[in-house]
Amino acid sequence: MTHDPFITGRRMGREGQPLIIIDGFHPDPDALIADAASREFGHAGKYYPGVRADAPAEHLQPCQGVIGEVLSRAFGYAGARLAETTYSMVTTRPEELSAIQRLPHNDGLDENRIALLHYLTGPEDAGTAFFRHRSTGFEIITEERFPAYRDALKGEYPDGPPAGYFSGDEVFERIDEVEPRFNRAVIYRGLCLHTGLVPETHTFQANPRTGRLTINTFLNGVPGQP
């Protein structure tokens, strides 16, 4: 089976964080969908608007070369340790979202946390957008920035954010976005403010063969010379 991933990259916004897109990421994406369909999904918790199931760490083995190249060239890491990897499906309807699910978010405050999002659906479904918080200018949220960011949001959304999936408003400016494509992976720093772009046509299905299926992986980058 031919496996020839195609890598493109760019820097986002004013703060210049790397955004890496890999098309043809996995040599056998259909096998991943079949594996997901065999697993039991459960509620993902208060942050992710849907359901999740554990994904096998082994699914990343055929992709280690391309991941290592990206971590080295774009992020300056000598390697990475796997933190978690899960099959994920957006199943929460707009009117059922919690307040935290209605705004852009960051994946923790660890500067070495790298997110790898692998789309197993096509362009008709939800992509991913990245944002700048207008009043602070923050595009990434670090531990040092978090108190100022939190306090600003409290003043900007005194009654909580509006209902529904976020796409942009006067508080956040969209600085980049990625269109979903089958077997496309996106790699970015977990500090970046981002959200899924869930279209009005989304069906919120919990079936891995027909729903918005992604694999959400977090890596802990290891600083140092590769």
Predicted confidence at residue 175, as pLDDT, reads 97
Predicted confidence at residue 202, as pLDDT, reads 87
Apex 176 CA angle, 171 and 182, nearest 5? 130
Contact 87, 41 (CB under 8 A): yes
Percentage of residues of the chain with pLDDT beyond 90: 88
Percentage of residues of the chain with pLDDT beyond 70: 98
Predicted confidence at residue 200, as pLDDT, reads 84
Predicted confidence at residue 219, as pLDDT, reads 98
Task: Using the Cα atoms of residue 143, residue 9, residue 213 and residue 128 in order, give the sign of their dihedral.
Answer: positive
Q: pLDDT-based confidence at 19, cuts 50/70/90?
A: very high
Tell me the pLDDT of the chain averaged across its residues. Answer: 94
Distance CA 117, CA 186 (A): 5
Answer whether residue 94 shows pLDDT above 60: yes
As given in the structure block, the two tokens for residue 217 are 């992986």
Name all domains of the chain by residue range, CATH numbers in brackets: 6-223 (2.60.120)
Answer whether residue 103 shows pLDDT above 60: yes
The stretch 76-93 carries a mean pLDDT of 96
pLDDT by residue (tens digit) across 31-51?
999 999 999 999 988 899 999
